[in-house]
Structure 1
Amino acid sequence: MDQCIVVTGASNGIGRAIANLFCEKNFPVVGIDLVAPKGKAKFQFMKADVSNKHELAKIGIAINAKNHSVLAVINNAAVQVEKGILETTEEEWDRVLSVNLKAIMLTTQSFFPFLKSGSSIVNLSSVHARATSKGMAAYVASKGAISALTRAMALELGEYGIRVNAINPGAVDTAMLQKGLARNASPGQALKKLQSSSPLNKLGSPNDIANLALFLVDPELAGNITGQEFYCDGGVTAKLASE
């Protein structure tokens, strides 16, 4: 029975880097997204809304039909609303929490039958789970909840030999980040400010996150690691706000 990797939000950015890396390591990869990847994908793309349990169930049927077990589920799919708590609508709040948080519960329930002892789940959280900025209330709430949920999942799934960890990226050079910078009056200055917040004076890359995910999934390298958060942020959260 082949062991496959399931990656949500696999068509772009961090998700695509993760999916591609596991493909390079010769794993069958099922990449889930609402939008098809541009260009030729190395992984098997399956269109689904991760906040819809019925669509996820169909993917489970497809995995079963191929006689796959699941070595890892990597919950990367996320949406963001750049609004504060007073401006965010109920519909926007619900959508962010559905995609970013509820989907983790649904993927866990949907793919649990295919997880074995030694399998793992990796949840993509964020530095915003620890310290944040104004104007991101729903996103921040979802990421903070992911960190707590990761610990709960690790406790509950440990008896099955399933490990659960979270990766908390900082600023990562993706198309989404570049679009955000472009909304500034001076994108170049905004980029320099963002880079300077890191002791390494640089942005992270999607491959940084992909390599960390690869490590966490490996039962030989990370077999005794569960319930933990791994900040891959260039040292941003190590600094005092007053510095």
Structure 2
Amino acid sequence: MSATPPDRLPSEQSPLPAGRPPVAIVTGGSRGIGRRIAERLAQTGYAVLIGYRSEQASADEAAAGIAAIGGTARAVRADVADEAVIARLFDTAEREFGGIDVVVNAAGVLIDKPLADLNIDEVDRMLGTNLRGAVIVSRQAARRVRAGGSIINISSAITKGTAPGYSVYAATKAGLEALTATLAKELGGRGIRVNAVAPGPTDTDMLRTGFANSGHGEQMRQAIVSATPLGRIGRPDDAAEVVLALVGPLRWVHGQTIHASGGLV
């Protein structure tokens, strides 16, 4: 006679003890997609630690904005490529908020140049933040996120719709997606769901700077709009809403990369 199955499997259980808000860490949370994810998580009741590398004013502004609407947030300087610093970021979450339920790894660096024109320092910077940093954050998350929690990595649709100038960036994001799929297999038994979100071109300061540096930004913008079946550039909310679904109701989605690109790829 087979054993009676449990009423709720780990992947179906809420990780949240009664009487306290859920807790999220968002790296790269001072601007762009990461900032919007931090804001939306706070709006839905999470206490949020906003990790940033150098944009202190933007991170403090994001935390203040969350506090102004009654949310809980703290900005913490945390370079994802520094293992000791990231360990302290997780320590802070556990010490000040009681634990960790969600980790969103949104930190990223994009240097748009043909491979032959990239210097090795630029290559190392992208590898250090986008891939090494993702590994460092994921190691801490794998050890500390509570059962029933969620880890989400922010990838990029560029892994499918390749373009000149993005060779190293695309390679780092492809590695991030492989890390996501493998970590999902390692953590599934604890009910920790691991997924990636891959936005298409998104209207952030990173994209606008790239347009400006190209010298023909408006033509580039219109080319993206024309190539996108839904007919516009992405917005930070487009990726943030997918993250909210993955940490919330989509509890049977695991080990996947979800594209939020308006059908571009």
Q: Do Structure 1 and Structure 2 share a fold, with TM-score over 0.5?
A: yes
- 1:26 is aligned to 2:67: no
Distance 1:182 1:69 in 2: 42
Match of 1:124 in 2: 154
Per-residue CA shift, 1:198-233, capped at 9, x if unaligned?
A: 011101110111111000011xx1111101111100
Flag the 1:60–1:186 CA change in 2: closer, same or farther, 3 A: closer
Distance 2:95 2:191 in 1: 24
Greater helix proportion: 2
Q: Is the 8 A contact 2:181 2:255 kept in 1?
A: yes
Pick aligned residue for 1:5 from 9, 24, 30 = 24
- 1:41 is displaced (CA, Å) by 4.0
Q: Is the 8 A contact 1:129 1:147 kept in 2?
A: no
- 1:161 is displaced (CA, Å) by 1.2
Match of 2:224 in 1: 194
Match of 2:77 in 1: 47
Per-residue CA shift, 1:94-117, capped at 9, x if unaligned?
A: 221110111122112223343122
Q: Is the 8 A contact 1:12 1:37 kept in 2?
A: no
Match of 1:228 in 2: 256
- 1:44 is displaced (CA, Å) by 0.8
- 1:37 is displaced (CA, Å) by 4.2
SS in 2 for 1:231: strand
Pick aligned residue for 1:56 from 63, 69, 86 = 86
Per-residue CA shift, 1:53-109, capped at 9, x if unaligned?
A: 110111122122125221111010000122222222222222211101111221122
SS in 2 for 1:117: coil
Pick aligned residue for 2:163 from 133, 150, 161 = 133
SS in 1 for 2:56: coil
Q: Is the 8 A contact 1:70 1:115 kept in 2?
A: yes
Unaligned 5+ segments in structure 1 are 238-243
Distance 2:127 2:217 in 1: 29
Distance 1:191 1:69 in 2: 42
AA in 1 matched with 2:258 = F
SS in 2 for 1:152: helix
Distance 1:110 1:32 in 2: 14
Per-residue CA shift, 1:129-162, capped at 9, x if unaligned?
A: 1121111221011011111111111111112211
RMSD: 1.5
Distance 2:143 2:166 in 1: 35
Which moved further from structure 2: 11-20 or 157-166? 157-166
Distance 1:158 1:109 in 2: 15
SS in 2 for 1:78: coil
The number of residue pairs the alignment matches comes to 235
- Percent identity over the alignment is 31
Unaligned 5+ segments in structure 2 are 1-16, 67-72
Q: Is the 8 A contact 2:23 2:97 kept in 1?
A: no
Match of 2:113 in 1: 83
Match of 2:8 in 1: none
Match of 1:101 in 2: 131
SS in 2 for 1:6: strand
Q: Is the 8 A contact 1:170 1:231 kept in 2?
A: yes
